[in-house]
Amino acid sequence: MLFPNHSLRCFTITAVTALVFLHGAIGSHAAYSVAEFGPALKVEKVPGIDACQAVAVVGDRLYATGRGTFSVLDISRAADPKILGELSGLGNTRQIFVRDGIAYVSARQDGLWLIDLSDDAKPTIISHYDTVEMATGIWVSGSVAYIATRCYGVEIVDVSDPQKPRHLSTLKTGEAQSCWARDGFLYIGDWAPKKLLVADVRNPLEPKIVGEGLLDGYGDGGCLRGNTCFAATGHHSRALKEEDREGKGHGLEIFDVSDPTNPAKISGVKFPPSYHISNDMWTARVAGDHCVVADTWNGLFVVNIATLESPKIVAHAILPTPSGRDAPDPVGDIALGDGVIYAAGIFSGLYVVPAPGMAQPVVAEPDQALPIPPSTAISDEDADFLTYRPEGQVRSVSVVGDIAWAACGVAGIQAIRLGEDSLEPLSVTVPDEGEVFHVSVSGDRLYAAESAGGLGIYQIGPKLDLTEIGRLRLPGRNVKQVVCPPPGRFALLHCGSAQTLIADVSDPAKPEIVLQDSQVGLFYGDQLVPEMLGGKYLVAHWHRSGPAWYDVSGPKPTLFGNSPDERRYSWTDGACALGDRLLITKRGRLQLLEPGEMRDVGQLPSVGIEGNYLIGRPSTDGKRLALARRHEQQVQVLDITNWEKPVVTEDYHFSGHPGACGFWQDRLVVPAGYQGLLLEKPKP
């Protein structure tokens, strides 16, 4: 089941109840009832730490991260943290897990970082892992890392060799936001489905959901102690009436998980109603008789859990209002120290919240580390496809003649000859920095989106060797996709999670940014259309505001506008060129738009297939249409020779995550992530 409407939460702030902030619109904290939420705790800023998203405590060290900077602090004096060392350039950092001298830092679209903590003054990068989607939650048990990647589920990675993390499998869920594990069972905060999921991961190659508990709010972070699971929730409750549901899902829910297949709810407490679809995450930490919950815009709450059946909120804290903002800083995460709570202020920095008698360090419980089965090789045998599997993740492909140019993550840019019954690698180019996310070929030049390495521009040699002739570096903005259709003057780039750039590459030695655009919505991959339409438009498909038409016919590119629709677009939609028109997927159907279309898309003709909700990133050779559903590990193929009556001809399922497909001699070419590059076998 898909939950497209809930994936918009990262961009706008909307209040749907009169009590979005019980501390008042101007930042007063007095409106919190002491009888209901306990007294307000004092909050003290830690100097030297800017925006902070996540924190973790191990012994007398505190680790903090926010906006790409990772900090190590001495907390031998718990109430007076001192910075010892820092590391920057990690991208959109979200969560931290520390184990055996290594910090595992999730960084959303920037993947997972492994950091060596042996020198407090100089934390250093051990390795970087290219996750299948936005690395949000992180937990490590034994030699296995579990990465919550939202709508893609949980990615399971072998970290026994920290220098070379290795993909093992993916567990599909509704929308995995956070996860935590012990003794071969994984607990998952399933966001929009409002569930606590339990998975058996004793064989990390074959994870499976074995239990679930219904939450009265959106699922996110939590923790275990003994046979008890503490789950933090937010946004909306399960109540039937809208007035009882909207914004009233915030709270702490306590489950008995002595039988992991049947989580049984024991009790819970509710926090103030609130709904903000920006910086909305929540988590729980337990030590002694108290559970501390970070509830972002609501602040943090201390819950006495001495009697599990009747928990009681005994204190709360709200962070100061940052300069230039009209609301207190959201609490992104919390960690517990000796008599203090460390709170991550998403906009303003790190805080110490003195809580004597309520806060104490979390005592780690024994975790039976389970071995990874020795048989980890994925077979290349496939009834429908020929397979070429490089070391990295094949994220995109550009087919030119008999050559497939593949973006292979850490394995670089590879040229593979497509044959009747073979895939033959011919050349490999590995950049010095970053992974290769996407490639675009225009004439004898290749443009590569190389994440932290920026945009690489290469001359294609006679033997398919690549010579770098230009590079556009964008510090702090990792390039994830590029298209540069003929005549090759302008390249359209996607950076980070929600930004497009257009670069003038007419002089490849001196590429120059000439347009920047940010709109409402995330980019989930393959959102740029490879072709130019109408002889003048480059197109980016924003997952909420739809196709954006960039006019590159003049001396400088301009945003012509977005194809409007009263009903917003979904993150599962996409666009490609069909002739000189734009083919889009929208609300389970297909539509064709004229270049620069400014009529309401909802009023334009569409085609569909009864009983089949058509979604995914489209690509076509004019006769066949491939819809790549990367999050569902599926590609659906349609015959569109009769546009008015499309027919499904194939429905392929993969162990990898397929991106937008290519075509070669009527055969499908699939960039299938860690499954490799796939070439459809000829049909009988």
- Among 382, 361, 294, CA closest to 331: 294
pTM, to two decimals: 0.93
Q: Residue 619 corresponds to which tokens in the numbers above? A: 């690509």
Q: Supply 565's token pair.
A: 């629709």
User: Can you read off the two tokens belonging to residue 272?
Assistant: 């103030």
Would you state the pLDDT for residue 20? 36
Quick one: 78 exposed, middle or buried, by C-beta within 10 A (0-12, 13-18, 19+)? buried
Rounded-to-integer distance, Cα 682 and Cα 680, Å: 6
635-658 confidence digits (pLDDT tens): 999 999 999 999 999 999 999 999
Which secondary-structure segment (H or E) carries 441?
A: strand 438-442
Angle at 25 between CA 273 and CA 284, to 5 degrees: 40
pLDDT score for 376: 55
Alpha-carbon gap, residue 414 to 428, rounded angstroms: 5
- Per-residue pLDDT band at 404 (split at 50, 70, 90): very high
Mean pLDDT, residues 526-546 taken together: 94
Largest CA distance in the chain: 77
Is 26's pLDDT higher than 60? no
pLDDT above 60 for 326: yes
DSSP state at residue 37: H
Residue 65, pLDDT > 50, answer yes
Q: How confident is the model at residue 31 (pLDDT cuts 50, 70, 90)?
A: low
User: What are the residue ranges of helices labelled H in 517-670?
Assistant: none
Residue 82 identity: K
For the residues 79-102, what does the mean pLDDT come to?
Answer: 97
| CA 349 – CA 346 distance, rounded (Å) | 6
Specify whether the CB–CB gap between 511 and 502 falls below 8 A.
no
* Mean pLDDT across 395-420: 97
Res 201 pLDDT > 70 = yes
What's the mean pLDDT in 577-598?
97
What average pLDDT does range 449-458 have in this prediction?
A: 96
Q: What is the pLDDT of residues 262-318, one digit of tens each?
A: 999 999 999 999 999 889 999 999 999 999 999 999 999 999 999 999 999 999 999
Residue 349 has pLDDT above 60, yes or no: yes
Whole-number Å distance between alpha carbons of 325 and 171: 39
Contacts 24+ apart (CB under 8 A), 63-66: 63/96, 63/98, 63/103, 63/117, 64/96, 64/342, 64/344, 64/350, 65/90, 65/93, 65/96, 65/105, 66/93, 66/332, 66/344, 66/346, 66/349
Reduced to 3 states (helix: H, G, I; strand: E, B; else coil), residue 242 is helix
d(CA 439, CA 446): 7
pLDDT at 522: 80
Strands (DSSP E) contained in 505-545 are 512-517, 537-542
CB 605 within 8 A of CB 591: yes
| Region 587-605 average pLDDT | 96
Residue 27: per-residue pLDDT: 31
- pLDDT band of 369, cuts 50, 70, 90: confident
Average pLDDT of the segment spanning 459-463:
96
Domains (ranges, CATH) in the chain? 16-48+141-348 (2.130.10.10), 385-680 (2.130.10.10)
Note the pLDDT of residue 498.
Answer: 85
User: In sequence order, which residues have a C-beta less than 8 Å from that of residue 543 and are 6 or more positions away?
Assistant: 7, 8, 521, 522, 523, 524, 527, 569, 570, 571, 573
Q: 223: which strand partners?
A: 230
C-alpha 347/C-alpha 322 separation (Å) is: 7
Beta strands in 216-282 (DSSP E): 218-225, 228-234, 251-256, 264-270
